[in-house]
C-alpha cells in the first residue's frame, strides 16, 4: 500500500522559497533552472528511505557511545575526477581508517563518504579577481566550472543534472565495492600492514602488531571472515543548493513522509545555518539524519534554537552537531555548547571536523592546513568530552585516497616547497592517503586513552 503525503506537508516543502537563502548561485535564467529541476524530479532516488532509517539508528548509537562515525572525502568532488580509480582509492582509505578506529574504539565504525553528491560550495566571496579581471567565484561543479573564463564561471543549471548523474555513478561504484569483496577485513588489514611496514610510521607498529594479534585471535576462534566481506557505506554532502535538494526530496510510500533522496546524510554548513533561513526550514521537513556545522562563535542559544527547529521531539540519531572550532579555540568554545545541549536532554551526536577551523595560507601562497594542528583539534575535542563526561561521536575529515600534497606535515613530511608538487584540490586542502592513515592511528590511540 502506498501512503500519500498531506497537502500541508507538500506545501511545507515549498516554504523555503519564502525565506532568506544564503550562498545560492546567481543563476542567469530561472526558466533554465526550472527545466533542470523538472528533469531531476523525474529521476530515480539515489538512496532509499530504509537505508536512511538504518543510518539514523547507527548515529543514535554513536550519540550513546556505542558506535563511532567516520565521515570523509573531498572538500569538493569534481566531475573530472569521478573516475573509478579515484573513487576506489577514497573508499579504500576510509575503509583502512575505519579498521584502525574500530580496533581503537572497540566499537562499530559508521563509514560515510563526503561522496556521491559533494558538488556545491559556499564561498567567502561571490567574486574572484585575477589580474584585474573579476568573475563569479567557483561554487562547485554543480554550479559552474573552475576555469577562470566567463563561460566556465557563469552558473549553468544543466550542471545540476550533471551532479545527479555523477552522484548516481559514484554511489553505484560504492555499492559495488563495499558489497563485492573489496571491503573484506582481511584485505583491508593487509593494506594497513603495508602502511605500517613503512619506517616513517614506526611509531604505530605497536598498535599495528596488536591489531594483527587480534586478527589471528579471531581466526583461531573460528570467526567467519567471509561474513565480514561486506560493509554498509553511506553517502553525504552539504545540502547547499536548495533547488537541487528540493528536487531530490521525495515522499516515502511506506510512511507518506518526505526524505531527501540525494544522500543518506546531509548537513547544513556554517554559513547557511541561520535558524530562520531556507536551509534549516527545508531540512527540518525531511526524515533523514542531518548535521549542522558549528563554528567557534556559536552560542548555546544558537545550538538550542537549532535543536528546537531540527529535532523538536528529541528523536535519537536525527541531529548531529559537527563542531569546527579551530585547534586554538575548541578547548574554550566547545564546553559551554556541550553543557547547554546536554542539560536540554534531547540527544545530539557530537562530531569533530578538525579541518575548517584550521585553514591557513602558506608562505608560498597555498591554502593549506598543518596535520599537527588538525590533530590538536581532535585532541581538544576528546579532552572536552572526557572532562564533561559526554560522548565524542565521530570525526569529519577532508581527505583523498591519492598521494596529493595539500596539507603540511605528517611523518613523510610535506613542507611548503612540496605543496606545489601535487596540489590538486579546487577548494580546500585534503589529507592525502598516508596522512589520513596517520590520523586514524593517532585517533585510535587517543580513543583508547579516553
Ligand X SMILES: O=C[C@H](O)[C@H](O)COP(=O)(O)O
Ligand Y SMILES: C=C(OP(=O)(O)O)C(=O)O
User: Which residues are within 8 A (CB) of 263 and not within 5 positions of it... i.e. 6 or more apart?
Assistant: 46, 47, 116, 117, 167, 235, 236, 237, 288
Establish if 123 lies at the interface with ligand X (CB under 6 A). Answer: yes
Among 313, 311, 254, 322, which residue's Cα sits nearest to residue 288? 311
Binders of ligand Y among residues 353 to 382 (CB under 6 A) are 356
Among 33, 75, 211, 247, binds ligand X (CB under 6 A): 75
Residues 26-65, mask of contacts with ligand Y (x by CB under 6 A): ----------------------------------------
Stretch (H or E) spanning 247: helix 242-247
Query: Cell digits for 425?
Result: 584540490
Q: Closest CB to ligand Y belongs to which residue?
A: 269
What DSSP designation does 126 have?
S
Task: Please tell me whether 324 is known to bind a ligand.
Answer: yes
Establish if 75 lies at the interface with ligand Y (CB under 6 A). Answer: yes
Among 114, 121, 237, 318, binds ligand X (CB under 6 A): 121
Stretch (H or E) spanning 162: helix 158-179
Binders of ligand Y among residues 6 to 25 (CB under 6 A) are none
Residue 368 vs 390, nearer CB to ligand X: 368
Binders of ligand X among residues 423 to 442 (CB under 6 A) are 427-428
133: left (phi over 0), alpha (psi -120 to 50) or beta: beta
124: partner contacted, choices ligand Y, Mn ion, ligand X, none (Cβ within 5-8 A by kind): ligand X
Distance CA 14, CA 249 (A): 11
Task: Please tell me whether 416 is known to bind a ligand.
Answer: no
Among 12, 65, 122, 328, binds ligand X (CB under 6 A): 122
Task: Please tell me whether 190 is known to bind a ligand.
Answer: no
Q: Enumerate the β-bridge partners of residue 128.
A: 135
Task: Please tell me whether 398 is known to bind a ligand.
Answer: yes
Task: Please tell me whether 318 is known to bind a ligand.
Answer: no
Residues 80-119, mask of contacts with ligand Y (x by CB under 6 A): ----------------------------------------
E-strand ranges in 269-401 read 290-294, 319-323, 349-352, 360-361, 367-368, 392-398
Distance CA 86, CA 401 (A): 7
Binders of ligand Y among residues 420 to 439 (CB under 6 A) are 428
Query: Cell digits for 166?
Result: 555523477
Residues 184, 225: contact at Cβ < 8 Å?
Answer: yes
Binders of ligand Y among residues 284 to 303 (CB under 6 A) are 293
Task: Please tell me whether 159 is known to bind a ligand.
Answer: no
Sign, CA torsion 260/265/266/268: positive
Residue 215 vs 330, nearer CB to ligand Y: 330
**Residue 180 Cα distances to 46, 98, 172, 225, 295, angstroms:** 19, 18, 12, 14, 39
Establish if 356 lies at the interface with ligand X (CB under 6 A). Answer: yes
Task: Please tell me whether 121 is known to bind a ligand.
Answer: no
Among 71, 149, 77, which residue's Cα sits nearest to residue 110? 71
Among 2, 6, 124, 361, binds ligand X (CB under 6 A): 124
Which residue ranges make up the site for Mn ion (CB under 5 A)?
75, 428
**Can you say which residues are annotated as belonging to the binding site?**
75, 114, 270-271, 293, 324, 356, 398, 428
Residues within the interface to ligand X (CB under 6 A): 75, 121-124, 356, 427-428
Binding site for ligand Y (CB under 6 A): 75, 122, 238, 269-271, 293, 324, 356, 428
Binding residues for phosphoenolpyruvate: 114, 270-271, 293, 324
Amino acid at each position: 500500500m502506498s501512503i500519500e503525503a498531506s497537502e500541508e506537508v507538500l506545501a511545507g516543502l515549498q516554504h523555503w522559497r519564502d525565506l532568506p537563502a544564503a550562498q545560492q548561485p546567481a543563476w542567469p535564467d530561472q526558466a533554465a533552472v526550472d527545466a533542470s529541476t523538472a528533469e531531476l524530479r523525474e529521476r530515480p532516488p539515489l538512496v532509499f528511505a530504509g537505508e536512511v532509517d538504518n543510518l539514523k539508528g547507527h548515529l543514535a548509537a554513536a550519540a550513546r557511545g556505542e558506535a563511532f562515525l567516520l565521515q570523509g572525502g573531498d572538500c569538493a568532488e569534481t566531475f573530472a575526477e569521478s573516475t573509478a580509480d579515484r573513487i576506489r582509492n577514497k573508499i579504500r582509505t576510509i575503509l583502512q581508517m575505519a579498521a584502525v578506529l574500530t580496533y581503537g574504539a572497540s566499537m562499530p565504525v559508521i563509514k560515510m563518504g563526503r561522496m556521491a553528491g559533494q558538488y556545491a560550495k559556499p564561498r567567502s566571496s561571490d567574486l574572484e579577481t585575477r589580474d584585474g579581471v573579476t568573475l563569479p567565484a567557483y561554487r562547485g561543479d554543480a554550479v559552474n566550472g573552475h576555469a577562470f573564463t566567463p563561460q566556465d564561471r557563469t552558473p549553468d543549471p544543466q550542471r545540476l543534472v550533471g551532479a545527479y548523474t555523477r552522484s548516481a555513478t559514484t554511489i553505484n561504484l560504492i555499492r559495488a565495492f563495499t558489497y563485492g569483496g573489496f571491503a573484506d577485513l582481511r584485505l583491508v588489514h593487509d593494506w594497513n600492514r603495508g602502511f605500517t611496514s613503512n619506517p616513517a610510521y614506526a611509531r604505530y607498529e605497536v598498535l599495528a602488531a596488536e591489531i594483527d594479534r587480534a586478527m589471528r585471535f579471531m581466526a583461531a576462534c573460528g570467526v567467519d571472515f567471509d561474513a565480514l566481506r561486506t560493509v554498509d557505506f553511506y553517502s553525504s554532502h552539504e545540502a547547499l543548493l536548495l533547488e537541487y535538494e528540493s528536487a531530490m526530496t521525495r515522499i516515502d510510500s511506506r510512511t507518506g513522509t518526505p526524505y531527501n533522496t540525494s544522500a543518506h546524510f546531509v548537513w547544513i554548513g556554517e554559513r547557511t545555518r541561520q535558524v530562520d533561513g531556507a536551509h534549516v526550514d527545508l531540512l527540518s521537513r525531511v526524515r533523514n539524519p542531518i548535521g549542522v556545522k558549528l563554528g567557534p562563535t556559536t552560542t548555546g542559544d544558537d545550538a538550542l534554537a537549532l535543536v528546537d527547529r531540527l529535532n523538536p521531539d528529541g528523536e535519537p540519531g536525527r541531529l548531529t552537531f559537527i563542531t569546527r572550532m579551530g585547534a586554538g579555540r575548541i578547548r574554550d568554545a566547545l564546553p559551554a555548547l556541550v553543557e547547554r545541549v546536554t542539560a536540554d536532554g534531547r540527544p545530539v551526536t557530537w562530531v569533530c571536523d578538525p579541518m575548517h577551523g584550521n585553514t591557513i595560507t602558506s608562505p608560498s601562497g597555498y591554502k593549506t592546513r598543518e596535520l599537527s594542528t588538525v590533530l590538536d583539534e581532535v585532541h581538544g575535542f576528546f579532552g572536552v568530552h572526557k572532562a564533561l563526561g559526554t560522548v565524542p561521536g565521530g570525526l569529519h575529515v577532508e581527505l583523498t585516497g591519492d598521494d596529493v600534497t595539500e596539507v603540511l606535515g605528517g611523518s613523510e613530511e610535506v613542507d611548503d616547497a612540496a605543496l606545489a608538487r601535487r596540489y590538486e584540490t579546487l577548494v580546500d586542502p585534503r589529507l592525502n592517503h598516508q596522512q589520513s592513515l596517520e590520523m586514524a592511528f593517532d585517533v585510535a590511540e587517543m580513543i583508547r586513552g579516553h
